[in-house]
A and B are shown apart, each in its own frame.
Chain A
Amino acid sequence: GAVVSQHPSWVICKSGTSVKIECRSLDFQATTMFWYRQFPKQSLMLMATSNEGSKATYEQGVEKDKFLINHASLTLSTLTVTSAHPEDSSFYICSALWPGGDIQYFGAGTRLSVL
């Protein structure tokens, strides 16, 4: 079964609204989680590394104020797309690092469509 749960699996929203995506590690504590974005026919692009209890580390070109990441517990990280616009429409995937640091388990992804 899944070891990382991501919710929702898809969301449609109006331009200007904010959308929150949750990523939960099931049955293990993940001090580090990753958020990725994937455009059609392209590979995953790392957006940010989320560390429990501290600020996320964002990749170059990713707007911190646009993509808010919170990792308040060892099993939950959230990504909030603020004031979403059509260009934010994409597939967002999280992963959680298994304790010990070798294996990443991926969520099922969230397909965001901004109208």
Chain B
Amino acid sequence: KNEVEQSPQNLTAQEGEFITINCSYSVGISALHWLQQHPGGGIVSLFMLSSGKKKHGRLIATINIQEKHSSLHITASHPRDSAVYICAVRRSGSRLTFGEGTQLTVNP
């Protein structure tokens, strides 16, 4: 079993839909990251969370430390949101452990 598991693996949505991607982890962490990987491969760091909730534009990330679970929400999804979304956790030190990613496709 992977230390970081994401669901779903693949997600197809219509433009405008509300999207949720989930991340569960099995180890103690100091922080959790949500990353976005574009089709060309480049990675953008969206959020770093250690508790609670963060919001940036149409993106919202939440984390429940007790339940070892985080969610990434996208409101009013748009085709340009199509990408792979990756959950990564940081234990001690600065190393990240990555989930396998969720491929999101938003159709017009």
Contact = CB atoms under 8 A, between A and B. Distances in A.
A43 B31 contact: no
Given A43-B98, A43-B99, A103 B48 contact: yes
Given A42-B100, A43-B86, A43-B101, A106 B43 contact: yes
A44 B98 contact: yes
Contacts of A81: none
Interface in A8-55: 32, 34, 38, 42-44, 46, 49
A7 interface: no
Contact of B94 (A32, A42, A91): A32
A85 interface: no
Nearest to A49: B95
B52 interface: no
Interface of A: 32, 34, 38, 42-44, 46, 49, 91, 93, 95, 97, 101-109, 111
